[in-house]
Each structure stands twice: as structure tokens, then as C-alpha cells.
Structure 1
Amino acid sequence: MSAQARRLWVGAGLALVLLVLVLWNLPVVRIALSFGAAPEIEADVCVVAPPTPYNPASGLPLQAARPVPADVRCPVCGMYPARSPDWAAQVIFANGDAQFFDSPLSLFMYLGDVARYSPGRSADEIVAHYVTDVPSRSWVDARSAFYVTGSTAKGPMRAGNLPAFASQDAARQFAAQRGGKVLAYADVDAGLVAQLGGQGVHAH
């Protein structure tokens, strides 16, 4: 091969390299060429949902239930409880901090492992538990409420999220219409919570 021919080949090669570099910097080309590449997987993506401090200006007692702020997120699933007011729940800590949940199920999951969802906290610090009474849409003590499991009602996570009732009669009427079984607070055990939690996307 003559020197002139070699120079032509080298020049053509350099031109090809430059063309590839130019094309690679065009977003549409990079997306097309990278489409089949394996996506990067984050090891553990969690939503950090800090507690909401007590606001003395609210005029509410320290341990009273409060309205759900629009911007707070559930520490269990990351959803916004204010968007599902019929299902919302909350706990109050001894210092007045509140943690809000998208459903009674998320509340029970939280109580089963407080340190996991609120590092540095413990269940012993919780002084009040509230769930939303389905008929009245008002707050009721979660420990005196009744819950229906196995009904056709689907909560925020599209799973059986244990609708809550202030009275056993109301819970029974609901179960008669929508199916399911009525449970007292003490009857909602860890096994049931784990089963229901696996039906939605509550994994954290």
C-alpha cells in the first residue's frame, strides 16, 4: 500500500471516530444505543417521612388528634395520607410529635417495628393512636376501634386495609354489606398484618 493510500485510510478512520463521538453526544442517539443496557438498581430506596412537630398555636391538647397536613407522607409506604382522609391514621409521641399514615394497615405495620420506620424512636414513646371512623370520618382511638378484614373495600394501596369503626355494630353492618370479618384491636395480630401488607406495595 502506498503512503498516499495509508494516509487516506488513516484520515477516513479519524473521520469515523469523530463522527461517532459527535453522534454519541446527541441525546436521541445515546438513548437509542443505551436502550438495551441494564438499568442501575438502587440498593434500598426508602421514603424518609419525619414526624410533624406539635404546634401550640393550634390550640389542640398535646395528645389530641390533628388534621393531616397536605404535604406529610406515610413513613411505611410513602403515600400522602391527606389524599385518603377516609383511611388516615396517626400516632402522637410523648413530646407532641405526630406521625401520619395512609391507612390503619400502615399504622399496624408501623407499630410492629417503630424503630425501622422512625429511627431513634420506640413504641414506648407513643401516647396516642388514632384511626378514622368510616361512617363519621372523625378520629377515634385506634385501641378501642373495630376493624373489618377480608371485605371488598380497597384502601389507598389497593389492598384490604382494615377499615376502622368506632362501634362494633357499625363494623358488623359494614361486613354484612361488603363482606369480611370484624376484629377488635387486639385481634389484629402480626400474622394478619404481614399477610395484608404483602397484598399491596407496602414493602419498605
Structure 2
Amino acid sequence: MYNITPLNRRAALSLLLAGASTLAFAQPQPARADAAPVDLPKPGPRDTCAVCGMFVARYPEWVATVVFADGTTFYFDGPKDFFKFLEDVPKYAAGRSRDQIATMGVTDYYGVRQVAAAEALFAVGSDVLGPMGHEFVPLATEADAADFMKDHAGKHLFRFAEIPAGLPAKLDAGQFE
């Protein structure tokens, strides 16, 4: 028979818990690819946001881009205006529709590179402000999103397809739902 002292029991419990947590991480997790980098044209010094008219190149860490099938490119000074554009393409690009869009990119907050907008995650309600105030903060990975939400007091995290209609305009008023 073994004589387990309180110290040995504590050590045994620690080892058991460490092993259990290791096994939990070894379990298959649902796959989600990171937002893929996209190679999109960069805005020039005179390119303006298709929604608000601000000069886009002044804010490289916030640029969002839409490229239509015919190669026509629209830039945005942040994802908030990008989403406003997507909600009413004909209003901002006469004669065009959303189904004519070939590629969409947003600038990943941590990587500061354009990633596929449809694959990114978007934080709102954080302490990070864009050129025009409250903003959708694009994040390329689940891990980055978790860190960002914790570090910057994010209120909500959305996938591209989950962003509620009207939320871009609500952000202007500091409303996050």
C-alpha cells in the first residue's frame, strides 16, 4: 500500500488536471480557416472613400477595398463605410449591384494586411476607434479575435455574414447592437 501524504495528493491532483487539460486541447476542434490574404490594388493619394469622401491612403491600417468583375475598384476609409456600401451598392456606385463584386478585402488589425472580407471576424464596441469613430475591427484569426476582445473590451464579435443590417449606421451613434 502507498502512503499518500497531503503534499503528494496535491501533486497528484495537479498532474491529473494538467493531463486532462492537455487531452482537451488534443480533441478535434471545428475547422475554420484564417482569413486569407488578398492581393488588391492599394489606394493612391487622391483616392477617396466611396461613402464619405475621405482620402483613404491617409489611413492604411483601416483600408477596405471592393473590386468589381470589370476591375473597377472602390476604396473605403474603414470597414464601417465598406459595410454601408454593401448594404446599398446602387446608392454609392450607380449602375452596379452587389452580385457584380469579384473581390472584397479589409485590413487585418494585427497583420495590417488586406484579407478576404468574407472570411474575417469583426469586433465592435471596443476601445479602438477608426478614422471616423466607432468601427468594425477586422481580425484574421479566431485567436486574434479572442485576444482583441479581451484586450480592447469588445462588446460583440461578428462573422461577415452575421453583421445585422443597419449596424454600420448605428456605430456612428455609438450603438453596438
Q: TM-score range by the shorter chain?
A: 0.7 to 0.9
**Aligned-residue CA RMSD (Å):** 1.6
CA contact (8 A) 1:172 1:182 kept: no
User: Distance in 1 between the 2:91 and 2:152 partners?
Assistant: 34
Q: Which residue of 2 aligns with 1:163?
A: 137
- Letter aligned with residue 150 of structure 1: G
Q: How does 1:105-184 map to 2 (within 5 A)?
A: 105-158=80-133, 160-180=134-154, 181-184=156-159
TM-score by length of 2: 0.73
Structure 1 unaligned runs (5+)? 1-62, 200-204
Q: Aligned-pair distance for 1:198?
A: 4.1
CA contact (8 A) 2:45 2:55 kept: yes
1:104 aligns with 2:70: no
Query: Which structure ranks higher in relative contact order (CA pairs < 8 Å, sequence separation ≥ 6)?
Result: 2
User: Distance in 2 between the 1:135 and 1:165 partners?
Assistant: 7
- Letter aligned with residue 82 of structure 2: L
User: Distance in 1 between the 2:124 and 2:87 partners?
Assistant: 18
**1:143-180 per-position Cα deviation (integer Å, ceiling 9, x unaligned):** 0000100001111012x111101112101101101111
- Letter aligned with residue 118 of structure 1: A
User: Distance in 2 between the 1:117 and 1:196 partners?
Assistant: 19
User: Distance in 2 between the 1:79 and 1:168 partners?
Assistant: 31
User: Distance in 2 between the 1:133 and 1:108 partners?
Assistant: 15
- Letter aligned with residue 93 of structure 1: F
User: Distance in 2 between the 1:78 and 1:92 partners?
Assistant: 18
Structure 2 unaligned runs (5+)? 1-37
Q: Which residue of 1 aligns with 2:162?
A: 187
CA contact (8 A) 2:39 2:114 kept: no
Q: Which residue of 1 aligns with 2:45?
A: 70
Q: Aligned-pair distance for 1:64?
A: 4.0
Residues paired across the two proteins, number: 137
Q: Aligned-pair distance for 1:108?
A: 0.3
**Structure 1: which 4+ aligned runs deviate by more than 4 Å?**
none
**Identity score, percent:** 35
- Letter aligned with residue 168 of structure 1: E
User: Distance in 1 between the 2:58 and 2:99 partners?
Assistant: 29
TM-score by length of 1: 0.64
User: Distance in 1 between the 2:146 and 2:81 partners?
Assistant: 22
User: Distance in 2 between the 1:97 and 1:64 partners?
Assistant: 15
SS at match of 2:166: helix
| Larger strand proportion of the pair | 2
Larger CA Rg, structure 1 vs 2: 1
